[in-house]
């Protein structure tokens, strides 16, 4: 099974979440959202589980407190949701945050580390389940347990070997505390996986952990910023993890991650709009002010709706036939009917990503790489004239990286064969 996971960031997204339920397998809900909107989240999940068989994970928010101040108001006080989470954990977490400091796993005693991990497990296992029981138990004789598919314990961003060892400790604490399966997140800076020895050390930690699945989050793995070499290193990491009998699942991902399925990836995650990559945010600045964007599948990217109309018309591309687009679009000029309909654009994107899953199941890697090259030849010049012109060469980078990595694999296999036959 190849798992599609959807990030559930705010309660305002619940309509999109429910509407698109046939097109994803699981939700990833942030723990600060769970603590702040417990009853609402429990209600949404209770509705989705029996009807759509939607699983869920709770992503620990503690790593967000590692650096920066985006969780604070301008006067330094905690934002309300951060304050709620600090209150849930209590000391020593609340003490550190209320003293206007950041959280560093290494600053806590071993006893406190275990206490925090256990409290994090309790949040994921009990909070939503108890809320569901309290709410639905008044009307039903029997209420299904609201239990996550797996625990995602606190994780330490990996910039060094000691960070890997810290994550190993955390995983073991969680596994010892609960019988629920553990699906840890290995959150790694993309510069750290440049060397084979570092990738090998991550794989060793994964292999020795009492887990069968892991999330991988490569910081800054954005299609516009990532290099061909970094794409190859990510392919290597995914394949090595998979070869150890552990299923890797990208915590944030674009279409390239779907192509990673050919190298052992078993899941992707994304938001209802955008959310294909995420870098560590350290400041409390405002939003980006982006214009309305639509996921234009021919180029595997979100584009301004004006640019979508131009490209779709100029290249006579077929219209999207998903449930959101088909009823309102008879030509690409009708794209503006979706400009004010966030729910429809979100459903279009989620449905399209589900189509990507089917694509990698039904087509060969050679054919899909060929489609990337064709897309680059067809659209590159036009993309340069859009408001997305900066570094809009991702189709070419993806194709080049896969071809380069596959060729390297062939050379390694030939080298190994040569060594075997001559020994």
At residue 43, the pLDDT reads 87
Mean pLDDT of the chain: 90
Q: What is the pLDDT of residues 106-139, one digit of tens each?
A: 999 999 999 999 999 999 999 998 887 776 555 5
Whether residue 252 has pLDDT greater than 60: yes
Question: pLDDT tens digits, residue range 75-86?
Answer: 999 999 999 999
Domain boundaries, the chain: 3-270, 293-392
**Angle 138-141-145 from CA coordinates, rounded to 5°:** 90
CATH number for the region 3-270 comes to: 3.20.20.70
Choose the weakest-confidence range: 29-33, 191-195, 229-233. Answer: 29-33
């Amino acid at each position: 099974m190849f798992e599609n996971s959807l990030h559930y960031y705010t309660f305002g997204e619940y309509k999109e979440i429910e509407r698109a339920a046939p097109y994803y397998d699981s939700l990833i809900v942030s723990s600060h959202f769970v603590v702040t909107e417990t009853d609402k989240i429990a209600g949404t999940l209770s509705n989705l589980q029996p009807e759509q068989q939607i699983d869920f994970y709770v992503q620990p928010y503690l790593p967000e407190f590692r650096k920066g101040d985006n969780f604070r108001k301008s006067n330094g006080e905690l934002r309300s949701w951060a304050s709620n989470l600090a209150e849930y954990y209590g000391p020593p977490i609340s003490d550190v945050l209320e003293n206007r400091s950041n959280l560093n796993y290494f600053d806590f005693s071993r006893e406190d580390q275990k206490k925090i991990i256990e409290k994090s497990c309790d949040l994921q296992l009990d909070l939503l389940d108890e809320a569901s029981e309290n709410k639905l138990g008044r009307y039903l004789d029997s209420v299904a347990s609201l239990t996550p598919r797996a625990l995602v314990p606190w994780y330490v961003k990996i910039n060094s070997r000691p960070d890997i060892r810290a994550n190993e400790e955390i995983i073991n604490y969680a596994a010892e505390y609960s019988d629920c399966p553990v699906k840890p997140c290995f959150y790694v800076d993309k510069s750290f996986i440049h060397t084979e020895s570092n990738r090998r050390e991550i794989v060793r930690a994964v292999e020795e952990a009492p887990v069968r699945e892991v999330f991988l989050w490569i910081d800054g793995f954005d299609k516009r910023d990532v290099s061909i070499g970094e794409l190859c290193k990510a392919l290597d990491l995914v394949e090595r993890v998979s070869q150890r009998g552990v299923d890797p699942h990208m915590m944030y991902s674009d279409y390239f991650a779907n192509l990673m399925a050919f190298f052992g990836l078993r899941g992707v995650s994304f938001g209802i709009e955008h959310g294909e990559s995420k870098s560590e945010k350290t400041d409390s600045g405002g939003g980006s002010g982006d214009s309305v964007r639509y996921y234009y599948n021919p180029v595997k990217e979100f584009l301004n709706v004006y640019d979508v109309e131009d490209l779709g018309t100029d290249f006579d591309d077929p219209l999207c036939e998903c449930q959101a687009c088909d009823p309102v679009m008879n030509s690409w000029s009708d794209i503006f009917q979706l400009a004010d309909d966030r729910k429809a654009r979100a459903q279009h994107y989620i449905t399209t990503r589900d189509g990507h899953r089917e694509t990698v199941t039904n087509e060969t890697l050679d054919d899909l790489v060929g489609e990337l090259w064709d897309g680059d030849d067809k659209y590159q010049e036009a993309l340069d004239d859009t408001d997305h012109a900066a570094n809009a060469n991702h189709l070419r980078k993806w194709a080049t990286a896969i071809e380069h990595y596959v060729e390297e694999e062939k050379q390694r296999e030939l080298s190994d064969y040569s060594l075997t036959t001559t020994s």
